[in-house]
Structure 1
């Protein structure tokens, strides 16, 4: 059901009415957000609000700082309320502008974007009906803005996301299909075309378009090589964004480029040790520990593998709430195999028995049962 986020329409950004100082400061602030320089970004956008108090951009991008704080640590809900409050401030300001000027494209874009991001968080928190309502509310606002400014490439981000997911998700997730009858039908090929156009030619929304193309090619198109193209763009532009680095690492693993993945995830751990923001969060540490440990195991460096896989399992136990994650299950399985390879049979038995108390992941239970039968004679 988390894929219901597809009905939440993202935003296009139109700043044509402003001067070059305004645009350069907005672009600088956006890059600061994506590169996880939140203090610098907040300073940039608060100064923008002071100098351009009648434009909603400053307040909108202040909210985007909180959005990225949420994305970097999704299980932590402490930023949710302030994010909602900031979005409501943007919507209120846009409504005031639209009362005086119903054709104000900037106000329409930022109002639609704020409603869309509100819906994205509601969907992330599994508040499906409210998320769907936000999607229904945001779509006509963005469409109206597009009619007023049809040459704006950034707006194609929202339409590209909608077109692609509205076509793909009902087939991938039948439970969502009934909800989609309230929305226009999608077009997968058109969605990809719109997203690529924004990714290469957009002004402010190109980074978000690249992010979505990276995830689409990885998850739905089964094309990690196309995903790599956009992941590399993002990592090159924003080398201190842990989300982008971790995605590139997963893509390398999918491609079988395990040495590249190992180097990348070791860099994640290095940045965590140096207290780069977002890198020392549990979700980032767990993933990096897992892939570094897995690579050590493949290379038969079992002592090193055990260190990282043990830490991955420990972190997973802290994070996993409703059920055991694949990270935890696989880590325990690999630890059992490592113990068995080192002739630590009692330890291996303990790990295999622990594995059977978890949910079955892949063929984990079969492997554990067969191994226990062999070890216990």
Structure 2
């Protein structure tokens, strides 16, 4: 499993927000506010960032004393980051936007420390900050943000226990607080400062939000898809949530990728290839969010499908694309995509009778870091050509 995907799950204590009807001393049209926020949320998940920017700018202009506008402005940046976690160029902007939300909420809470909206949006901003800090492996700051955010969620829950969306924060925490320390023992020292986790309770809370939540429903479904894929190893359940997400947001590459990976994990490359072929086509068309990383992943799994079916020429075609993209994308160290692809290309060239080219690629494998016995296989086939 790619390291960034694993890191992506650590300290995922997210505090997604809801919009209450408490006024800020202004005669606002709250039905319009609610409608605009819903539209913005759908545009963000639909990877329609330009539309989302315009929608949230209206919210900021018409509701200047409410923190929702600044919060969802930051959420647009968050999804831009999420679509390419290797690119850290937007991190500072995201942290600055979240700080604006926190500062605005603090000013509101100085006047009224029981203001529910301010509590929720501050908790949400701190939660998302902690989430990115965890992805960037800044564990101490991430843990501190998680602790502070969790306290705000509890405070908000006490103020409005009937709100279903607040259970998203509880569900995420209860699930990962039990699972993460078991999977990653190095995290355990941080967890002594937190309440005990409860995986089953967390799943129930997330499912309640996924079916009944008002604003956090999609986020809860996204978590259920990813945690069933990564931790529960329940591909059928992961696909259930994936289908629901793609029904509403068919052009979200992150949703589509995870859905395809559920079939990869079961070695059903034929079905996975149908999904990744659609991703590849969308990348070729330049649909928003379908960047080079998604094209690289799609070309890899298309190559795997053809390789398994012994369609040597087609497999080589897509692996060559994957190799080119990997050399372009791999900045700090060679990815698993590159290592596997170079090895597979060497084997395919052997099958096609292009021995000199195969030898070149086997030697290239030996210059890359060893992964899953790649060096052993390269040495083996340098001595004796690969034959299926």
Instruction: Report 1:285-304 matches (<5 A).
Output: 285-304=295-314
C-alpha distance in 2 between matches for 1:7 and 1:309? 35
- Alpha-carbon deviations, 1:87-119, whole Å to 9, x = none? 111111111111111111111010000011111
Q: 1:29 offset after TM fit, Å?
A: 0.7
Instruction: Indicate conservation of the 8 Å contact 1:225/1:255, yes or no.
Output: no
1:332 and 2:342 matched = yes
Instruction: Report 1:95-106 matches (<5 A).
Output: 95-106=106-117
Residue of structure 2 equivalent to 1:233: 244
Match of 1:363 among 353, 373, 376: 373
Q: 1:20 offset after TM fit, Å?
A: 2.5
C-alpha distance in 1 between matches for 2:285 and 2:264? 25
Gaps of 5+ in 1: none
C-alpha distance in 2 between matches for 1:171 and 1:131? 18
Segment drifting more, 245-254 vs 360-369? 360-369
Gaps of 5+ in 2: 23-29
Instruction: Report 1:73-84 matches (<5 A).
Output: 73-84=84-95
1:308 and 2:312 matched = no
Instruction: Indicate conservation of the 8 Å contact 2:20/2:116, yes or no.
Output: no
Q: 1:4 offset after TM fit, Å?
A: 8.7
Q: 1:335 offset after TM fit, Å?
A: 0.6
Residue of structure 2 equivalent to 1:129: 140
1:161 and 2:165 matched = no
- Alpha-carbon deviations, 1:220-264, whole Å to 9, x = none? 111111111111111111111111111111112223332332122
TM-score, reference length from structure 1: 0.95
Q: 1:8 offset after TM fit, Å?
A: 4.9
Residue of structure 2 equivalent to 1:59: 70
Q: 1:165 offset after TM fit, Å?
A: 0.7
C-alpha distance in 2 between matches for 1:20 and 1:257? 47
Match of 2:268 among 257, 261, 264: 257
Equivalent pairs counted in the alignment come to 375
- Alpha-carbon deviations, 1:9-56, whole Å to 9, x = none? 211423230632221211111000001101111111111122222211
C-alpha distance in 2 between matches for 1:125 and 1:319? 18
Q: 1:352 to 1:4 in 2, by over 3 A?
A: closer
C-alpha distance in 2 between matches for 1:356 and 1:201? 53
Q: 1:265 offset after TM fit, Å?
A: 1.3
Match of 1:90 among 95, 101, 105: 101
Instruction: Indicate conservation of the 8 Å contact 2:18/2:214, yes or no.
Output: no
- Alpha-carbon deviations, 1:139-188, whole Å to 9, x = none? 11111001111111111111111111110111111111111111111001
Q: 1:5 offset after TM fit, Å?
A: 5.8
Segment drifting more, 345-354 vs 13-22? 13-22
TM-score, reference length from structure 2: 0.92
Q: 1:136 offset after TM fit, Å?
A: 2.0
Residue of structure 1 equivalent to 2:25: none
Instruction: Indicate conservation of the 8 Å contact 1:38/1:65, yes or no.
Output: yes
C-alpha distance in 2 between matches for 1:248 and 1:353? 35
C-alpha distance in 2 between matches for 1:202 and 1:271? 31
Instruction: Indicate conservation of the 8 Å contact 2:8/2:134, yes or no.
Output: yes
C-alpha distance in 2 between matches for 1:93 and 1:186? 32
Instruction: Indicate conservation of the 8 Å contact 2:167/2:205, yes or no.
Output: yes
C-alpha distance in 1 between matches for 2:266 and 2:213? 29
Instruction: Indicate conservation of the 8 Å contact 1:214/1:230, yes or no.
Output: yes
1:245 and 2:249 matched = no
Match of 1:17 among 17, 21, 24: 21
C-alpha distance in 2 between matches for 1:368 and 1:78? 37
1:341 and 2:345 matched = no
Residue of structure 2 equivalent to 1:323: 333
Instruction: Indicate conservation of the 8 Å contact 2:164/2:212, yes or no.
Output: yes
1:194 and 2:205 matched = yes
Instruction: Indicate conservation of the 8 Å contact 1:5/1:119, yes or no.
Output: no
Residue of structure 2 equivalent to 1:171: 182
Q: 1:39 to 1:58 in 2, by over 3 A?
A: same
C-alpha distance in 2 between matches for 1:278 and 1:338? 32
Instruction: Indicate conservation of the 8 Å contact 1:4/1:128, yes or no.
Output: no
- Alpha-carbon deviations, 1:336-365, whole Å to 9, x = none? 111111111121122112112222222322
